[in-house]
Amino acid sequence: MTDSIIRSVADLREIVAGWRQEGKRVGLVPTMGAIHAGHLSLVSIAAKNCDKVIASVFVNPTQFGKNEDLDAYPVDEAKDVRNLTDAGTDLVFCPGKEEIYPNGFSTVISVSGLTAGLCGPFRPGHFDGVATVVSKLLLQCLPDIAVFGEKDYQQLLVIRQLVSDLNIPVEIVGAPIIREDDGLAMSSRNRYLSPDERRVAPEFNRVLTDVAALIKAKPDECQNICRNAREELLELGFASVDYVSVCDIETLELLKTYRHPARVFGAAYLGASRLIDNLPVD
Ligand code: AMP
């Protein structure tokens, strides 16, 4: 336990109000803990842009599906708080479940359109859970900026949309994906990969990178190239592939013919672990 942990919205508001009176600019980095270098890169972006940085650590139950890994999600609060504070976080907000979802909680924020494709159909309810908890965290903290990773690119766009639609006075800052040396996007779930799976995992980014190069050369072949990529992943040992798709970077419209600006998106299971990744075509 350190002084930099707080658990109640009332304490959070009091501290942020004090900072505001001193004219400080405040940044928020929402996380689900299991902190790694990807999260810490968001903290450093917030620290560069703000006088005070708050990180939240809350494993949000409403964004996990029934058969997903909520119960297995890694929790080590003391280590997370140490890593976050070492990286320049001033305050770590670790609310209990009842603080976020008190008895009788009845509101859901649901963003349509952007959630229709990619992870949306494969994770019913997931983006409602994300949109609801992020709306709450933003309103509890009322930061000047909040930083989110492009690792969860669809989530980043959903959050930009809800902030605009609900007139929440915060700037949403997107942060580049931090990768291991072999290209695997860092993720809290990577620790569940067996040694064999860990060896295969970087192929995911390699296959998506190949898709980006191939569609630039043959823009009309988007669908074939993505289908071949899905087959290649299965041949490499991925258990199943939810999607490999090329989409417009703002609307996430699925592109049958590549046009700039687009990103390649993928989600696939390696053993029991679901990997997601994406990258710009240019
Ligand atoms: P999570 O704890 O997985 O909910 O992630 C919290 C925040 O960290 C989200 O904005 C993620 O997009 C971001 N994030 C997770 N992994 C990475 C990564 N490898 N690079 C950059 N940001 C990341």
Tens digit of pLDDT for each residue in 53-72? Answer: 999 999 999 999 988 989 98
Average pLDDT, the chain: 97
Ligand 1 pocket list (CB less than 6 A): 31-32, 38-39, 41-42, 148-149, 151-152, 175, 177-178, 185-188
Q: Amino acid letter at 92?
A: V
- pLDDT at position 124 over 60: yes
Listed in sequence order, the residues at least 6 apart from 240 whose beta carbon sits closer than 8 Å to its beta carbon are 234, 268, 269
- Residue 30 alpha carbon to ligand 1 centre in Å: 9
Q: Which ligand 1 atom minimizes the distance to the CA of 155?
A: 12
Q: List the residue whose alpha carbon is closest to atom 6 of ligand 1.
A: 31
Listed in sequence order, the residues at least 6 apart from 202 whose beta carbon sits closer than 8 Å to its beta carbon are 180, 182, 183, 184
> How far is it, in rounded angstroms, from Cα 153 to Cα 96?
27
> How far is it, in rounded angstroms, from Cα 280 to Cα 282?
5
Note if the pTM is more than 0.95.
Answer: yes
- pLDDT at position 220 over 90: yes
Q: Which ligand 1 atom minimizes the distance to the CA of 32?
A: 2
Q: Look up tokens 């993720």; give the residue.
A: 187
Q: Pick from 263, 262, 255: which is nearest to 222 by CA? A: 255
Q: List the residue whose alpha carbon is closest to atom 22 of ligand 1.
A: 149
Cβ burial 30-62 (10 Å sphere, 16+ → b, else e):
bbbbbbbebbbbbbbbbbeebebbbbbbbbbeb
Q: List the residue whose alpha carbon is closest to atom 19 of ligand 1.
A: 186
